[in-house]
Structure 1
Amino acid sequence: MTELLFSEADLAHVFLDTNPVAVVKQAIIKVNESLKLRFNPNHSPAGLLNEKAQFIDNLLTASWKHFLGDHANKQALIATGGYGRSELFPYSDIDILMLLNQDFSDNIQDRLSGFSNFLWDIGLKPGISTCFVSECVALASQDQTIFTSLLEMRLINGSTQLYSELQQEISASKLWSSERYFLAKMSEQEQRYSKYYDTAYNLEPNIKEGPGGLRDIQVISWVFKHHYNAQSLRELIKYGFLPKSEYDDLVSARDILWRLRFALHSTTNRCEDRLLFDYQRELASLFGFLDHEGNPDVEQFMQFFFKTVVNIERLNEMLLQLLNERLIQNQQHLTPTPITASFSSIAGYLEVSHDEVFQENPLALLELFLLLQQSPSLKGIRASTIRLIRKSLPLIDEDFRQNKAANSLFINILRQPRGITHQLKRMNRYGVLAAYLPDFANIVARMQYDLFHIYTVDEHTLFVIRNLRRFALNRHSQELPFCNNIFLLTPKPDVLYIAALFHDIAKGRGGDHSSLGEKIALNFCKQHDLSRQDSKLIAWLVRNHLLMSMTAQRRDISDPDIIHDFASHVGSIQYLNYLYLLTVADIRATNPSLWNSWKDSLLKDLYIATHRALHRGLQHPVDRSERINDNKKEARRELLKLGIAKKTMTQSWQHLSDDYFLRYSADEIAWHTIAIAASNEDDLPMVLLRPQTQRGSVEIFIFTRDEAQIFSICTATLDHLGLTILDARIITSEDQYVLNSFQVLEQSGEPIADLYREVHICDALRQSLKEKKVRASKNIHKQSRQAKHFPIETSVTFIEDTSNKHTTIELITTDHAGLLSTIGRAFTELGIHLHDAKVTTIGSRAEDMFYISDQNSQPINTEAERQHIRSTLLRYLNSKN
């Protein structure tokens, strides 16, 4: 005990002071500062946690005696939860139970209120429960969370008789039988896991509640303690649940999480259990990680964290399975049922027939996963066999990897009709996948430090395979029916799974991961005797897995030339089917928030257009004039059905360029035509909104006289309204009218669903265009809290346009409110004409494409002009940032 850890006697004297609240607050600050100064990230903070609990004990005891006086020994003050375990982090909640004697009176109520108010006044924020023994028992019998908190209760001060009475009632098996309590805890853990997408690999993990976090260890402790009345986790060794080596692993992993949690509390000066971006770099430095050969300190730190929680997750799985056998299964169910010479089934779990199975037959390390796929009644692998798998991993050496029988087994696993995702996840969790594929070991627990990839590379890879598997299953057919239909056209799904397994395998190596991954995939195909045709397709998919998403999001897919170029690169409908499915599965597995109806529609449109081009034959490309005439004909049919006269169409279309009819669909042309025909000069600027387009987005259409800064004013207004701009098309007619349309969604990724909101958006845009400025108002475009941790260097690149119609600018920068408006102002100063904009935001990274020309609609090709554009854009963006 240090001199700052005030004794009960020291704290009792506080109440003689004229301002005890201020004195105690100062004491708490001194203790927290002392703990922070003495914290060493390389050593266990167990002693400091105990010390903080002891200080709070002394403080509460002194306060209890002061406020209750003679009644202090007749009631009981009890610590529960983490405080009951004496594991008190610097800013942990203080959970206490005030257990009352049956002779309770109003006088005591006033004293208890004074005690409670004092705790709040000094800033403890306690969790206080007040009840009689009978009430407490009744509540605990109904609610397992209350029962759990009482399992770890500890008397701080007061009546030992009351405490003993409650302790005796709580420990009675009739309150919660071991079986009932175990099942309740399993259900609770399942619900907790689902909040974190059933993965420990989250971008900003919760080190207490997330899978593999401290709560996983506590669940083991609670179930074990309840059944065996055990005093510590060390008794897991005594009862044969863990060998000492695994117990040491468990304690070591818990110690790492304790150190991290203590550091988080000390860094934030609050009860913070989330490993947010705001603290990851600081903690990486605190824990001694340094940048090394392109491997950033923060990525090393997060990999260290993820490997820790995966170890806890695995031990949690094993221990709960063993506890299930002891607590629920009867002896009859634990009788082995032989399946093969090497394996038996015990209580529905796969178990080795004897401890030398893997030594005698190393191939059994793969066989058991195939056996699980082929035996639907099996629930998993028995804990003792998981332990043996981990111990036997060194058997998966180079000779094993070169063994054709092993290769055949691995491919067979990928070709099974069921269980592929489940078994690959198990293989990854137990270390088999990394042992069999050394290149995969490099991406295990590897986090990419950005806002785009929210899972580690290995977890993302397995999610991609899971998404591909869902396309094959009827029960998921309504999620993405188009994908399910195309999946039926893929003759070899295993080719897709192998491509998915290798598409990101070269991440973190430096260089182009797609081309590096292609080489690794080819070596795998060769070793596993895949056909030349399948090997070629897998390698092509790995190298081109980003091609379709980049084309859809960054190119004008209404242009037949773009479609022809893409179709030429793909080459066949078979390759298109495989690439489309891999692309959708990849995006959906990268970050669930990135997938929306707009992306779905863009990729589907690109697929359909490319399919037509390939079906027609690349030697017969769609002519631009053919596409324009088709759009006009279809639009005329639509308008005639609606009673619009041909003369009206001719008048509305007479000054529109071919570009307009190429880039808009027939239904869009019809909608615009009706609006333009019904308007006159006094109605301008005209602003219309369609809440649901064919692409699942909201289209805002603007028709007005061409003037400077229209694009800038529109984008600034939409940004102020909190809308996400997905696409912008800018058409100027020969008589100097502009037809601008913006595809937008709410920031949530949802369409605009409120009529009042639609009217407000149109009114705000119309007003801004009339006044030629954006009204000052609160910008409701929410800036991501995490974005400031990912500053992206601005780059302006000119991309050659083979048609030489426009000049294409690729601009990459940090996304921020008003970005497009700022770019629009720069274009106005430069006096250049903007024809189109493709807007892509990936996490905090904006990757936007702008199609421009000079005032004479000519491309800008001289290096001097391009350099001037580049420097002007950088000046505007740097001043904004």
Structure 2
Amino acid sequence: MTAAERAARTEAADDLCRTAYDGLAGPRTGVALVAVGGYGRGELAPRSDLDVVLLHDDGVDPGALAGQVWYPLWDSGVRLDHAVRSTSEVLAAAAGDLKVALGLLDLRFLAGDPHLALRVRTTVLAQWRRDARTRLPQLRELVAARHLATGELAHAGVPDLKESQGGLRDACVLRALVATWLVDVPHVELERCRQDLLDVRDALHGLGARQGDRIGPEAWAPLAAGLGLDTPLAAQQRVRTAARRISHVSRLAWRRVDGALARPRNVGPRRPELHPVAPGVAIARDEIVLDRGARPADDPTLLLRACAEAAERDLLLAPATAARLVRECGPLPEPWPSQAREVMVRLLAAGRGLLPVWETLEQVGGLDRILPEWEQIRTLPHASTIHRFTVDRHSVETCIEAASLIRQVARPDVLLVAALLHDIGKGQAGDHARVGAPVACATAVRMGFGDDEAGLVAGLVRHHLLLARLATSRDLDDPATVAELRAGVGSEAELDLLLALTEADARATSPKAWTPWRAGLVRHLVATTRASLADAAPVPVPREEAVEIPWQVRHDCAEVSVAVRQHESGATVTVVSGDRVGLLADVAAMLAVQGTSVRAARAWTDDGFGVSQWEVADQFLDAALLRQRLLGIIDGRIDPAARLRTRAGHHPARLEPSVAVRPGASHSATVLEVRAEDRPGVLHRVCAALADLKVSVRSAHVDTLGPQATDVFYLQELGAGALTDDRAAAAAHGVRAALSADGAEGAVGTERFRHG
């Protein structure tokens, strides 16, 4: 699909419209048929409507003219979006409705009275320019609301070519901004990206009537074939690269609109004043530019210095300035001088101001000069749907999050560089943390870090997933867990860095990746490990899940206590009773029957009592009702298996579960790790299968991220002690059978109620 094909489609549609209009029996002056919107721009996609308006002067009665035009077009089979409007109605609609005004800016004459069409178009444009200062803030609110609803085309899992940020609608808005004469944009580059997206939309429409403008995951392969590209990844990169450019130009244009609106009309010198802020760097009209005495060829650090000033001050780095610096600045010596390294760290520590500056660097080719390794992850999509952004944008977001944590670490420079490079190994074969560590080390050395600091950066990259994994899938009170973490960190300072990197990485991933629950687990593990690293006896650390045993349970172990604490993102359900085999299965069944989504959970024993805390998505739970349901399950009056079988059909498993024993993960228990799709009853099935085998669950650690649940159970025999190899294998087999499609019902039978 090419611009020539779109032009041919438009010409064919124009011929249909002219032919229909030529058959009119009525006035020939004061009436005109015009195209608006995408048809007005001559950008008809294969499944686009024809947006047309029959214009007439206020003194001309169109009578039956409209029907004479529309019926031939309907008979031809085209999809028609039509209206009949007088000139005063059109101008009033343009003045009162931004969407109408935007569509009329692309008005194009088709047939009839050309003078009428020209007069209306000229008046609409004049009206748009006259009212720009009052209408552009409204337009910005409209654009922001659309972006919030549709996400970014460069990063969305199912992007919308038209409505998403950086899509075709934004390109039209940019044309409207230019039409105000308040700002300008790089037309050639914008038009190239717009044509790229139009080509993609044409190819997408060619895949079928149901595609619309949204690209589902299954569409990338046929879309690549339609565009003549080798791989689905190449198609993604083409779309996301064009969208990034449009987003960048759009952010630049809106910042300049803000500056133009803030300046009084026709006030001030034509030439902007320069305010020097650093050697060779100045501010002009809220943009970072070069000072008059700047000599880029003699100052290889000037590019980084200009970037840091723009990011720290949250100002635009003028694209023309950035492009000149990339062209003229000499290469930095290797290793970088300390001044360059310090300025780079300032740039990374700038917080939100980093993003627009980094985007400008990318657009002008500056990243190739500063960080050639970046090309490996540029526009690379994440394999996990939990991520909001592509790998490169996620890395920048991690830096932004890390910038707010630098007060908590002894080496903020190391933290920020590690945050930038933590995913640099993605896109290559193998574990990205292992692959990325030597790349990060070499990059840090080139930046001028010493061997020790570069090794610290590499270690953080190598272990950036370790802390979160252990905290959410291991018993935090087991010495083996602390020993495994200590193997990855060598000092308290490194542990603090790893904690900050873990938090920044999670926050940059998605809100679900750093909940208060997870933060509490991570910090508890860090506190325990810090005491161990300091060669001090571990001290009791208060935990969010610490629970006082209710008095009624202390007096009667058969009693059951259920408490619910609501919070902003859901609720915490705490259940306490006398410890026994099957208790955890009963509680999991209670929540499954309730239909509550479990996000995370922990269970442990406390002096003969079984305690479990469950983070759930439902805010409106009644503790008394939950307790009655739990008692009904314990007494055998409620059969959870029967109820869950009814629901299972709505949540078919797409992947076989993974059930594995982790040897050496604990000195006193057998650790069983279960990975399965997050669907109703998973926890109940696992716990019920273990109860059937009369296996005691000493502690459980449940975590749900995206579509997958990762559950880790510390198992012991009833008389305490780890399971034998045979018993561990039997436990793994029983759980696997309970979760498989064939064994889901049989493993959750009523036998368990006899010993539960």
Both structures adopt the same fold (TM-score exceeding 0.5): yes
Residue of structure 2 equivalent to 1:754: 620
Residue of structure 1 equivalent to 2:124: 170
1:761 Cα deviation from its structure 2 partner: 4.7
- CA distance, structure 2, for counterparts of residue 72 and residue 62 of structure 1: 14
Residue of structure 2 equivalent to 1:674: 552
- Residues 868 and 611 (structure 1), Cα distance of their counterparts in 2 relative to 1, 3 Å cut: closer
Give the letter aligned to residue 823 of structure 1: V
Matches of residues 717-796 of structure 1 in structure 2 within 5 Å? Answer: 717-718=591-592, 721-729=595-603, 739=610, 741-746=612-617, 752-754=618-620, 761-769=626-634, 770-774=637-641, 776=643, 794-796=657-659
Give the letter aligned to residue 690 of structure 1: V
Give the letter aligned to residue 660 of structure 2: T
- CA distance, structure 2, for counterparts of residue 678 and residue 104 of structure 1: 92
1:203 Cα deviation from its structure 2 partner: 3.2
Matches of residues 63-78 of structure 1 in structure 2 within 5 Å? Answer: 77-78=33-34
Residue of structure 1 equivalent to 2:741: 879
Whether contact under 8 Å (2:58, 2:86) holds in the other structure is yes
Matches of residues 162-561 of structure 1 in structure 2 within 5 Å? Answer: 163-173=117-127, 176-177=130-131, 189=143, 192-193=146-147, 200-225=154-179, 227=181, 247=188, 249-270=189-210, 272-287=212-227, 297-316=231-250, 332-335=269-272, 337=274, 339=276, 342=280, 345-352=283-290, 357-359=295-297, 361-372=299-310, 376=313, 379-389=315-325, 391=327, 396=331, 400-402=332-334, 404-405=336-337, 408-415=339-346, 418=350, 421-422=354-355, 423-471=357-405, 487-531=406-450, 534-559=453-478
Bigger mean CA offset, 591-600 vs 88-97:
88-97
- CA distance, structure 1, for counterparts of residue 403 and residue 197 of structure 2: 35
Whether contact under 8 Å (2:699, 2:714) holds in the other structure is yes
Whether contact under 8 Å (1:451, 1:842) holds in the other structure is no
- CA distance, structure 1, for counterparts of residue 589 and residue 440 of structure 2: 44
- CA distance, structure 2, for counterparts of residue 368 and residue 732 of structure 1: 59
1:403 Cα deviation from its structure 2 partner: 5.5
Whether contact under 8 Å (1:73, 1:157) holds in the other structure is no
- Residues 572 and 319 (structure 1), Cα distance of their counterparts in 2 relative to 1, 3 Å cut: closer
How much is the aligned-residue C-alpha RMSD, in angstroms?
Answer: 4.8
**3-state SS of 1:851 partner:** strand
Whether contact under 8 Å (2:417, 2:444) holds in the other structure is no
**3-state SS of 1:411 partner:** helix
Whether contact under 8 Å (1:200, 1:309) holds in the other structure is yes
1:834 aligns to 2:697 (yes or no): yes
- CA distance, structure 1, for counterparts of residue 244 and residue 17 of structure 2: 38
1:690 aligns to 2:573 (yes or no): no
1:137 aligns to 2:82 (yes or no): no
1:538 Cα deviation from its structure 2 partner: 2.8
Whether contact under 8 Å (2:589, 2:640) holds in the other structure is no
Query: Unaligned stretches of 5+ in structure 2?
Result: 745-756
Give the letter aligned to residue 172 of structure 2: Q
1:149 is aligned, of 76, 100, 103, to 103
Deviation track 1:345-372 (CA, whole Å, cap 9, x = no partner) reads 4433333468995455544333322443
Whether contact under 8 Å (2:564, 2:572) holds in the other structure is yes
Give the letter aligned to residue 511 of structure 1: G
Deviation track 1:560-608 (CA, whole Å, cap 9, x = no partner) reads 6645764675454433332222211110101233332222332333344
How much identity, in percent, do the aligned residues show? 21
Whether contact under 8 Å (1:722, 1:779) holds in the other structure is no
Give the letter aligned to residue 262 of structure 1: D
Residue of structure 1 equivalent to 2:686: 823
1:857 Cα deviation from its structure 2 partner: 4.5
Give the letter aligned to residue 811 of structure 1: V
- CA distance, structure 2, for counterparts of residue 347 and residue 440 of structure 1: 31
- CA distance, structure 1, for counterparts of residue 76 and residue 692 of structure 2: 59
- Residues 75 and 460 (structure 1), Cα distance of their counterparts in 2 relative to 1, 3 Å cut: same
Whether contact under 8 Å (2:678, 2:708) holds in the other structure is yes
- Residues 161 and 287 (structure 1), Cα distance of their counterparts in 2 relative to 1, 3 Å cut: closer
1:258 Cα deviation from its structure 2 partner: 1.4
**3-state SS of 2:269 partner:** helix
- CA distance, structure 2, for counterparts of residue 104 and residue 704 of structure 1: 89
- Residues 689 and 391 (structure 1), Cα distance of their counterparts in 2 relative to 1, 3 Å cut: same
1:501 Cα deviation from its structure 2 partner: 1.6
1:149 Cα deviation from its structure 2 partner: 0.9
1:577 is aligned, of 488, 491, 496, to 496
Matches of residues 609-624 of structure 1 in structure 2 within 5 Å? Answer: 609-611=528-530, 613=532, 617-621=534-538
Whether contact under 8 Å (1:783, 1:817) holds in the other structure is no
2:518 is aligned, of 599, 604, 610, to 599
Whether contact under 8 Å (1:721, 1:780) holds in the other structure is no
1:404 Cα deviation from its structure 2 partner: 3.5
1:810 Cα deviation from its structure 2 partner: 1.7
1:467 Cα deviation from its structure 2 partner: 1.0
Give the letter aligned to residue 837 of structure 1: A
Deviation track 1:714-755 (CA, whole Å, cap 9, x = no partner) reads 348527614224114266998xxx846340311xxxxx4335
- Residues 106 and 197 (structure 1), Cα distance of their counterparts in 2 relative to 1, 3 Å cut: closer
- Residues 569 and 444 (structure 1), Cα distance of their counterparts in 2 relative to 1, 3 Å cut: closer
Whether contact under 8 Å (1:717, 1:774) holds in the other structure is no
**3-state SS of 1:841 partner:** strand
Residue of structure 2 equivalent to 1:843: 706
- CA distance, structure 2, for counterparts of residue 319 and residue 693 of structure 1: 41
Deviation track 1:432-475 (CA, whole Å, cap 9, x = no partner) reads 2343222222112111222132311211111111112234xxxx
TM-score scaled to structure 1, two decimals? 0.70
1:810 aligns to 2:637 (yes or no): no
- Residues 709 and 879 (structure 1), Cα distance of their counterparts in 2 relative to 1, 3 Å cut: farther
TM-score scaled to structure 2, two decimals? 0.81
Give the letter aligned to residue 171 of structure 2: I
1:102 Cα deviation from its structure 2 partner: 4.1
Whether contact under 8 Å (1:698, 1:743) holds in the other structure is yes
- Residues 779 and 278 (structure 1), Cα distance of their counterparts in 2 relative to 1, 3 Å cut: farther
Whether contact under 8 Å (1:321, 1:382) holds in the other structure is no
Whether contact under 8 Å (1:206, 1:273) holds in the other structure is yes
1:146 Cα deviation from its structure 2 partner: 2.1
- CA distance, structure 2, for counterparts of residue 346 and residue 523 of structure 1: 38
Whether contact under 8 Å (1:329, 1:347) holds in the other structure is no
2:575 is aligned, of 701, 707, 724, to 701
- Residues 674 and 695 (structure 1), Cα distance of their counterparts in 2 relative to 1, 3 Å cut: farther
- CA distance, structure 1, for counterparts of residue 174 and residue 567 of structure 2: 52
- Residues 544 and 150 (structure 1), Cα distance of their counterparts in 2 relative to 1, 3 Å cut: same
1:79 is aligned, of 25, 28, 35, to 35
Residue of structure 2 equivalent to 1:476: none
Whether contact under 8 Å (1:434, 1:444) holds in the other structure is no
- CA distance, structure 2, for counterparts of residue 310 and residue 561 of structure 1: 46
1:201 Cα deviation from its structure 2 partner: 2.9
**3-state SS of 1:771 partner:** coil
- CA distance, structure 1, for counterparts of residue 570 and residue 135 of structure 2: 47
1:524 Cα deviation from its structure 2 partner: 3.4
- CA distance, structure 1, for counterparts of residue 268 and residue 502 of structure 2: 50
1:138 Cα deviation from its structure 2 partner: 2.3
Give the letter aligned to residue 159 of structure 2: P
Give the letter aligned to residue 208 of structure 1: K
